[in-house]
Amino acid sequence: MKVSAICLGLPEKLSGKSYKTGINKVPVSGAVLVDENGLVGDSICNRKYHGGPDQAVYVEGGLTLDWWASELGQVLAPGLFGENLVIDGLDNRNVGAGDQFQLSGGVLLEATSARIPCNTFSARMGDAKFAKRYTAAARPGIYCRVLVCGAMSAGEDVVFTPFAGEKVPVPEMMRLFGKQLAPQDRKRYLAAPIHTKLRAELQANI
């Protein structure tokens, strides 16, 4: 696996929207610094739902974006889905909470949760129903926390290390978002390094 693109966004207004968003991301050249809150220079406008240590870096797999390009019948520019990082050779469906991405430059990321598509994403795609289409495709992007900070660049090799415990796949996390988990599933989720907000919600419902 390799990093094929690193993308940053600036605050912009989408057509028909009154608020600014950082979803319009474009690839950059050169090294980008990454700290516990994400890529330095990347804009996060709605911090209630985006950003923070457990959503520091948003990853899309190159194989998943290739599938979408075929599905949509168009070339997808890096950053179109609002991703920070595109990893060639990665299929989003194979990722679970706790899986790690070790970049050759030293940065270490850990998957925490699935991307839940919203109206802003639909507006970005110019299709009011795109969030539903994205959900139905069951190939959600991956939010990651940063375990080792540093600088990263396009072209770096990536070593993928699966979580050692019982798997909590990101497609399942998207499918069960907001739903009551069965006791055995709650136990499995709490045994994995999931997003702290999700962990708090699950613990509150015990």
Is the sign of the CA dihedral 35, 107, 3, 122 positive or negative?
negative
DSSP code of 45?
-
pTM given for the model: 0.91
103, with CB counted inside 10 A (0-12, 13-18, 19+), is buried
Please give the full DSSP string across 74-124, using - where no structure is assigned: SPPPTTTTS-SEEEET--GGG-BTT-EEEETTS-EEEEEEE----HHHHHH
Q: Could you report the per-residue pLDDT of 156-191, keeping only the tens digit for each?
A: 999 999 999 999 999 999 999 988 898 999 999 999
- Topology of 2-204 in CATH? M1 Pyruvate Kinase; Domain 3 (2.40.33)
pLDDT digits (tens, 9 = 90+) for 63-112: 999 999 999 999 999 999 999 999 999 999 999 999 999 999 999 999 99
Domain range list for the chain:
2-204
173: exposed, middle or buried (C-beta count within 10 Å: 0-12, 13-18, 19+)?
buried
pLDDT at position 18: 62
What does the pLDDT read at residue 45?
A: 46
Residue partners of 15: CB distance under 8 A and separation at least 6 = 123, 126
